[in-house]
Structure 1
Amino acid sequence: MKPIVDGIETRYTGRLIVLRVDITTPLGRQVGQELDFQYTPTFIYYDAQGHEAWRSVGSLDEKQLDNSLNP
């Protein structure tokens, strides 16, 4: 089964940047602290100005993502 993130990267190529963070590494733990997340998966959506618009822990509501990209 293909991870949901793979599908998102494919579906929104050129419109969305997906950053995967491995929280089992020292750098990943640091990024997790800076972005204030502790659980995986955590999806954080930033708007075009770089402000956090919303986050989802555990699962991603693809409809919410689609609505954010197509207001």
Structure 2
Amino acid sequence: MALEPVVNRLENSMSGKLNLIKINVKDPAADVLAIQLALEVTPTFIFFGSNGIEKWRSVGHLDPRRVQKSMLS
């Protein structure tokens, strides 16, 4: 399953509630950030709380229901 449509739908449906940042790990400018976030496998989705602390991450797959549920907690 292609993830781009899933990510785009989430971004549209949660507009104003979710900030989406895409990092191209192939770009040398992203090396430091990729190391800081421990991005070893792509795609990796990391969700942070409003306090900036990582709440959870998903590697390789993204379940939109989990994203929506986590936004409520």
Q: Normalising by structure 1, report the TM-score.
A: 0.88
Is structure 2 residue 48 aligned with structure 1 residue 46?
A: yes
Is structure 2 residue 28 aligned with structure 1 residue 26?
A: yes
Percent of aligned pairs sharing the same letter = 30
Specify which of 61, 64, 67 is matched with residue 65 of structure 1.
Answer: 67
Give runs of ≥4 in structure 1 deviating > 2 Å.
none
Residues 44 and 60, structure 2, Cα contact 8 Å, conserved in 1: yes
Greater relative contact order, per chain length (Cα 8 Å cut-off, separation 6+): 2
Work out the number of aligned pairs and report it: 71
Q: Give the gaps of 5 or more residues in structure 1.
A: none
Residues 3 and 62, structure 2, Cα contact 8 Å, conserved in 1: no
- Structure 2 residue aligned with 1:14: 16
- AA aligned opposite 2:28: P
Residues 47 and 57, structure 2, Cα contact 8 Å, conserved in 1: yes
* Distance in 1, Cα, partners of 2:66 & 2:8: 17
Give 1 or 2: higher helix fraction. 2
Structure 1 residues 43 and 30: CA distance shift in structure 2, 3 A: same
* Distance in 1, Cα, partners of 2:9 & 2:29: 25
Q: Normalising by structure 2, report the TM-score.
A: 0.86
Q: Give the gaps of 5 or more residues in structure 2.
A: none
CA-atom RMSD in angstroms: 1.5
